[in-house]
Amino acid sequence: MRNTSFRPRRPIRFARGDYIYLLAPPEKAEALDRFFVDMLPGSAPDPHLLGDFTVAGEHTLGELAEVYGVAVSEEQAKLTLADYFDIHLDHAPKEGATLALDPIVLVARSISGGRVNVVGLRLPEEQDETRRRTRLESLKRKLAAFWSSVAGI
């Protein structure tokens, strides 16, 4: 595979609300953050403590159920992850607080204004390493990893 970039003949103008898709190998994806997010570089925490992937707190349990196949009721499906923490914790959320959701563990990664705004997803360990993933499971896992790396959270 060659290391080539393609440049348009005319400059492309983007407007607020436009979507762009950037494809990069996983080891280079984090380097793209500096173009889109004002974040201070941080040290790499232990992923087991904070979750395998991260998502914003405004995503709903229903969205999580679609991607990871967790069981949630119709009523729960409408709740955001931040709301789920508010309802099920018996104290104000703190960074590192955890809640179980079917086989997934939700981990509060970032708190703002007393609410969880970034949630880590600690996925269950493979119990049977010899079991092959289905294509759909592999695709979901890859998409979740790509989304987390591009979103920069």
For 57, the domain range is 43-124
The pTM assigned to this predicted structure is 0.52
Single out the residue of 46, 54, 50, 43 nearest to residue 146, CA to CA.
Answer: 54
Span between the terminal Cα atoms of the chain, in Å: 29
- In b/e form, how buried is each residue of 67-100, taking b as 16+ CB within 10 angstroms? bbebebeeebeebbbbbbbbeeeeeebeeebebe
SS3 63: helix
Closest CA to 116 of 136, 137, 98: 98
Provide the CATH number for the domain around residue 73. 3.30.465.10
State pLDDT tens for residues 55-66. Answer: 899 999 999 888
Q: Is 11 part of a structural domain of the chain? A: no
pLDDT digits (tens, 9 = 90+) for 53-96: 788 999 999 998 888 888 889 999 999 999 999 999 888 888 88
Q: What average pLDDT does the segment 7-31 reach?
A: 76
**Is residue 69 domain-resident?**
yes
- Of residues 99 and 148, more confidence is placed in 99
pLDDT tens for residues 26-42? 777 767 766 666 555 55
CA proximity to 50, closest of 108, 102, 100, 11: 108
Residue 22 lies in a domain: no
Residue 94 lies in a domain: yes
Residues 42-49: contacts with CB under 8 Å, at least 24 apart: 48/122, 49/96, 49/107
The mean pLDDT value of the chain amounts to: 77
Residue 75 lies inside a defined structural domain of this protein: yes
Half-sphere exposure of 91 (CA within 13 A, CB side): 5
* 66 in a structural domain: yes
Give a yes or no: residue 99 inside a domain.
Answer: yes
Please write the tens of the pLDDT for every residue from 99-146.
988 888 899 988 988 899 999 888 876 554 445 557 777 777 777 777
**Which phi and psi (to 5°) does residue 54 adopt?**
-125, 150
Let me know if residue 95 belongs to a domain.
yes
pLDDT at 52: 65
How many domains is the chain partitioned into structurally?
Answer: 1
